Amino acid sequence: MSGCCLAECVGWAALAVFAAKSLYNVSHFIYTTFLGRLLGHGIDLASCGPWAVVTGATDGIGKSFAKQLAAAGLNVVLVSRNSAKLQKVADEIKSEHSSIQVKTIAVDFTESQKIYNTLRDELNKLQIGILINNVGMLIGFGQRFGNIEDDKSIHDIINCNILSMARMCHIILPQMTKRKKGVIVNVGSLSSAMPTPYLTIYGATKAFVEKFSRDLAAEVQSLGITVQTVHPGYVATNMASHMKPSYISPHPDTFAAATLRTLGLEQRTAGYWTHKIQLYFTDLANFFIPRHLLESGVIKHFDELKKAAQNKKSR
């Protein structure tokens, strides 16, 4: 009888813990997604400093971040590799916000040390309040890593997705530390939170973003600096050109606005509400489902995508 009573007590205790955790998760989701900003909580973007820097700013999420920051009253530095596209985005922002200053820096983040000397020289002249490390590239989608034929692309994605983030933080952190104020947003991917066979190098670079950002956040929190990691799911950008804007794959403007509303409320987020739900259940699956089953599911998904693409071509 005592054994049954003990088992019953343990069962009820486990159920109570699960219920409390579930209630917290739902409440936290509602607060960070909808209520926090309405209550005046979070970070006032304009108070961070007069300038914001956005990498990968000519398309997609980066361009949307730049437009949102300009709308909040910040001057913007646009960083990307295409001078013509940079100027086009700069002109768009100036036409919408005539009082905002826009500076462009054309560099290719797949290159080596020289670009960071240029960036340091240019950015140290400005008082940077917000850094958005958004630049990124994707290679080997749906391919086995060993079948990637272009060796240079492996170096390029590491330089672009990993080195650029670390170096940009290293350039701008000293001035933020001196002022004891600043925000750094590092854009990762939902792929970093799950097994990604057939997307191995991309998922691995985004996993670095997760680890680096968490540790840096702990390191600089006492200095008044906020570091946030953002893990988007599908967003209707050029990188996911097959996706149309929807609840599952929002328009970049919608995603950027939702993400900025979470600043100061979440250190690790997926930004947009449906992506937050995806991230939550991904973390849950990682806890409850054996890794080999998750990997098998991802491989099956990619095999189905390949077959669908081949069938489409043969029609």
Residues belonging to the active site: 202
Residues 6+ apart with CB under 8 A from 43: 183, 226, 263, 264
Closest by CA to 226, choosing from 33, 80, 47, 102, is: 47
**DSSP string covering 131-187:** EEE-------TTS-GGG---HHHHHHHHIIIIIHHHHHHHHHHHHHHHHT-EEEEEE
Backbone angles phi, psi at 135, to 5 degrees: -55, 140
Tokens read off for 106: 């054309």
CA distance 54 to 69: 9
Give the single-character DSSP code of 228. Answer: E
Question: Please, what is the angle between helix 200-220 and helix 164-179, to 10°?
Answer: 10
Residues 6+ apart with CB under 8 A from 238: 59, 60
Tokens read off for 168: 């940009």
Full 3-state SS string of 269-286: ECCCHHHHHHHHHHHHHH
CA distance 264 to 245: 27
Q: Is the CB of residue 45 less than 8 Å from the CB of residue 57?
A: no
